């Protein structure tokens, strides 16, 4: 290398150094922290996360809702903060997916600090995780959430003694729901991050402490860069699989057995001490919860009460939904009429007019007219969930679930299935074993999701005008019963044993939070709307195409179309179930894209602009009767049954594939559901025909 070249490299080197220095300074000016919110399920992590970042994540009352870490941005003074919401956990062991996800997040070197969210109204239970997190040795602040509830109940927490007993970390009383104390929390967080962190809060018995010290020395020599040595040592003594894999320790003399029991015991007795010194009751208000729960969670009456409440929800969905429907009806009729006139004026080709008015407007618009019903359904579900009732339903169902070989936890994803099957399938991650997950995935689609509501609304309004709400409600019950029977069947086949029961703790009843409800309902409506704009939009165009084109090009009569050809293949199969019309075949096929599409395709098939209006329904019924005079309420009921049970929509199938990781399982599920749908609706039709 010549002298000249050397100089140039040196120059380059120096300019690089300058650059790095500048960046370093910039970093100092504008700090940035990655902070994880960690806490028990239901302590308000997501509510806090939403309040701090302005996000609209789903807040809910059962495990499995936040199954992956979610990030959002916030800041305080000149510090930017990336906040991470994690799944709720009770301890840092590695048994469930949630625990794994959260533990990884907590230990990640990229995480600068932890906000340990604690439900102050059940401090005792929450502190167990806190003690474990403290041992990690990361900067941490305690967000003493639900402080409003604490006050309401006449409890008082000693705000001097509590931090003292927790290694002097900042303890900030907040209410995520009422948005109080949030600034102080961020302030404490940022200033505390600048200081270090003590790893020591509680001492274990001498024997264990000696072992921790010995392990600490070993690890310091084997893995010198390792922080939180104490935590790793403790985990080794607890015989933690993952830490053992990470730091294989050959000294059997130190880790001669698992000290897990002693370590847990020690934490609990320390918590007892903390509680004794920090928690006081000013006035003990008797919890009214007990009285209500004596009925709502009664081993026998619990289930009938649940069914009654759901029945009420459907009654509301129908009556209020119907009252609001008028507005949408006039709107859609006017819009559809105006569009037709406009296209005529513009001289649009006949096929284009037909595509826009009969294809897209009837297909997508028809779905939009169900918004009032969907809205009421979600509003009611959100209220039930946020008030704390849904957790009780899971509790009541626990014994039933155990008997059919499902984990008690499985009912939680199933309730979620009333909204949409996709997140419900994802929520099965909260289950411990892969086997339990698959069984739950298999039966969850039988819970009637909101996309099936339009089908029930339309068919029961058309064929059961006097008992529409009851008819729709019966679909929900049939779905649940079949889910349970299916689980029982699978269990018998496997000669499975009864499963362990659910360890769910019942949250206090409380007045639903307006913001939580708003976020919940809006998210669901948004999903519904975006589905109308995407899947249903495309499906409507496809349906219009297959019904308006045949081998001879564009056809006048849909009976000559490709759709009719396709539908006729299905007629012999569907006939025993009372569904032997090619139009129904087409509707069911297209319903695989999304279940609402069954309704859209009815609109397109029978050439009505607004299927959900009284005139539209009358036209469809008349049309059906002119094609098949025998088609009556029994047939309609069987059609609803078929829609309830057959293949879930493509989005669900894709999710099942992703979550189970197996095409074989997914295909088996599809086959099972197709056969079941056919068998049940055929059975009902054949038996029903004898009586009707």
Q: 145 touches which of ligand GDP, Mg ion, none (CB within 5 to 8 A by kind)?
A: ligand GDP
Closest approach, Cβ 515 to Mg ion, in A, equals 15
Q: 535 touches which of Mg ion, ligand GDP, none (CB within 5 to 8 A by kind)?
A: none
47 binds ligand GDP (CB under 6 A): yes
Alpha-carbon torsion (505, 509, 513, 518), positive or negative: positive
Q: Which residues contact 526 (CB under 8 A, 6 or more apart)?
A: none
126 near 43, Cβ under 8 Å? Answer: yes
175 binds ligand GDP (CB under 6 A): yes
| CB-nearer residue toward ligand GDP: 491 or 513 | 513
Which segment (69-77, 142-150, 330-338, 472-480) binds ligand GDP by CB under 6 A?
A: 142-150
Select from 88, 85, 37 the least CA-distant residue to 61: 88
Residues 375-394 that bind ligand GDP (CB under 6 A): 386
Which segment (63-71, 288-296, 453-461, 565-573) binds Mg ion by CB under 5 A?
A: 63-71
Pairing of strands 79-85, 70-76: antiparallel
Closest approach, Cβ 60 to ligand GDP, in A, equals 5
Select from 76, 81, 99, 85 the least CA-distant residue to 43: 85
Angle of helix 633-645 relative to helix 582-590, nearest 10 degrees, comes to 30
513 binds Mg ion (CB under 5 A): no
Pairing of strands 171-173, 140-145: parallel
510 binds ligand GDP (CB under 6 A): yes
Residues 15-54 that bind Mg ion (CB under 5 A): 46
When binding is defined by CB under 6 A, the residue of 38, 60, 383, 441 that contacts ligand GDP is: 60
When binding is defined by CB under 6 A, the residue of 113, 146, 364, 406 that contacts ligand GDP is: 146
* DSSP state for residue 179 in the 8-state scheme: T
Please state, in angstroms and rounded to a whole number, the distance separating the CA atoms of residues 539 and 542.
Answer: 5
Please state, in angstroms and rounded to a whole number, the distance separating the CA atoms of residues 598 and 653.
Answer: 17
Place of tokens 């609706």: 681
Residues 65-94 that bind Mg ion (CB under 5 A): 66
191 near 66, Cβ under 8 Å? Answer: no
Closest approach, Cβ 522 to ligand GDP, in A, equals 15
| CB-nearer residue toward ligand GDP: 96 or 613 | 96
* DSSP state for residue 496 in the 8-state scheme: P
Q: Which residues pair with 79 in a beta bridge?
A: 31, 76
| CB-nearer residue toward ligand GDP: 297 or 387 | 387
| CB-nearer residue toward Mg ion: 46 or 353 | 46
Q: Tokens representing 368?
A: 């939009």
Neighbours of 543 (CB within 10 A): 26
521 binds ligand GDP (CB under 6 A): no
| CB-nearer residue toward Mg ion: 66 or 593 | 66
For the chain, give the number of residues.
692
Place of tokens 């949409």: 420
102 binds ligand GDP (CB under 6 A): no
**Contact track, ligand GDP, 298-337, x by CB under 6 A:** ----------------------------------------
44 binds ligand GDP (CB under 6 A): yes
Q: How far apart are the first and last CA of the chain?
A: 100
Q: What residues make contact with ligand GDP under the rule CB under 6 A?
A: 39, 41-47, 59-61, 66, 88, 145-146, 148-149, 175-178, 386, 510, 513, 516
Q: What residues make contact with Mg ion under the rule CB under 5 A?
A: 46, 66
């Amino acid at each position: 290398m010549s002298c000249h070249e050397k100089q140039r490299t040196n120059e380059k080197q120096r300019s690089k150094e300058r650059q790095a220095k500048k960046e370093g300074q910039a970093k100092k000016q504008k700090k940035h922290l990655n902070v994880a919110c960690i806490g028990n399920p239901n302590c308000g992590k997501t509510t806090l996360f939403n309040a701090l970042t302005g996000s609209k994540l789903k807040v809910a009352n059962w495990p499995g809702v936040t199954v992956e870490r979610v990030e959002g941005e916030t800041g305080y003074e000149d510090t930017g903060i990336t906040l991470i919401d994690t799944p709720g956990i009770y301890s840092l062991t590695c048994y469930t997916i949630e625990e794994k996800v959260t533990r990884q997040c907590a230990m990640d070197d990229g995480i600068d600090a932890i906000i340990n969210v604690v439900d102050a109204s059940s401090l005792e239970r929450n502190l167990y995780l806190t003690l474990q997190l403290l041992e990690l040795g990361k900067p941490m602040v305690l967000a003493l959430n639900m402080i409003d509830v604490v006050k309401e109940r006449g409890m008082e927490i000693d705000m001097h003694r509590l931090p003292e007993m927790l290694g002097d970390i900042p303890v900030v009383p907040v209410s995520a729901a009422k948005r109080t104390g949030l600034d102080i929390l961020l302030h404490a967080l940022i200033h505390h991050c600048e200081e270090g962190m003590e790893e020591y809060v509680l001492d274990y018995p001498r024997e264990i402490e000696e072992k921790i010290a010995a392990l600490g020395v070993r690890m310091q020599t084997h893995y010198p860069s390792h922080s939180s040595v104490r935590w790793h040592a403790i985990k080794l003594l607890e015989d933690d699989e993952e830490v053992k894999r990470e730091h294989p320790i050959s000294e059997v003399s130190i880790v001669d057995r698992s000290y897990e029991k002693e370590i847990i015991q020690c934490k609990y007795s320390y918590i007892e001490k903390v509680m004794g010194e920090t928690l006081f009751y000013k006035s003990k208000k008797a919890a009214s919860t007990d009285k209500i729960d004596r009925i709502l969670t009664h081993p026998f009456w619990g289930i009938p009460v649940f069914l009654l409440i759901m029945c009420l929800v459907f009654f509301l969905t129908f009556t209020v939904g119907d009252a609001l429907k008028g507005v949408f009806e006039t709107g859609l009729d006017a819009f559809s009429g105006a569009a037709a006139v406009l296209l005529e004026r513009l001289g649009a080709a006949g096929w284009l007019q037909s595509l826009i008015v009969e294809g897209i407007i009837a297909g997508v618009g028809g779905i939009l007219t169900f918004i009032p019903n969907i809205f009421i359904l979600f509003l009611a579900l959100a209220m039930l969930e946020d008030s704390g009732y849904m957790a009780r339903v899971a509790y009541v169902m626990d014994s039933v679930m155990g008997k059919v070989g499902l984990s008690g936890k499985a009912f939680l994803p199933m309730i979620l299935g009333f909204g949409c099957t996709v997140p419900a399938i994802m929520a099965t991650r909260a289950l411990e074993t892969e086997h339990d997950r698959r069984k739950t995935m298999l039966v969850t689609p039988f819970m009637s999701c909101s996309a099936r509501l339009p089908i029930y609304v339309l068919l029961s309004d058309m064929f059961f005008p006097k008992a529409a709400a009851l008819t729709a409600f019966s679909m929900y019950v049939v779905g649940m019963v079949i889910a349970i029977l299916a689980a029982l069947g699978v269990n018998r086949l496997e000669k499975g044993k009864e499963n362990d029961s659910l360890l769910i703790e019942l949250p206090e009843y409380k007045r639903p939070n307006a913001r939580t409800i708003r976020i919940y309902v809006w998210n669901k409506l948004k999903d519904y709307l975006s589905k109308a704009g995407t899947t249903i939009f495309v499906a409507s165009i496809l349906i219009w195409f297959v019904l308006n084109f045949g081998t001879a090009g564009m056809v006048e009569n849909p009976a000559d179309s490709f759709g009719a050809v396709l539908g006729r293949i299905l007629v012999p199969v569907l006939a025993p179930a009372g569904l032997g019309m090619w139009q129904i075949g087409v509707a069911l096929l297209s319903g695989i894209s999304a279940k609402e599409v069954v309704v859209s395709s009815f609109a397109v098939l029978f050439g009505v602009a607004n299927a959900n209006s009284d005139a539209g329904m009358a036209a469809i019924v008349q049309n059906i009767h002119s094609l098949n005079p025998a088609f009556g309420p029994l047939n309609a009921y069987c059609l609803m049954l078929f829609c309830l049970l057959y293949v879930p929509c493509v989005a669900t199938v894709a999710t099942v594939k992703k979550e189970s990781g197996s095409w074989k399982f997914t295909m088996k599920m599809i086959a099972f559901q197709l056969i079941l749908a056919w068998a049940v609706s055929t059975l009902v039709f054949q038996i029903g025909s004898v009586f009707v």
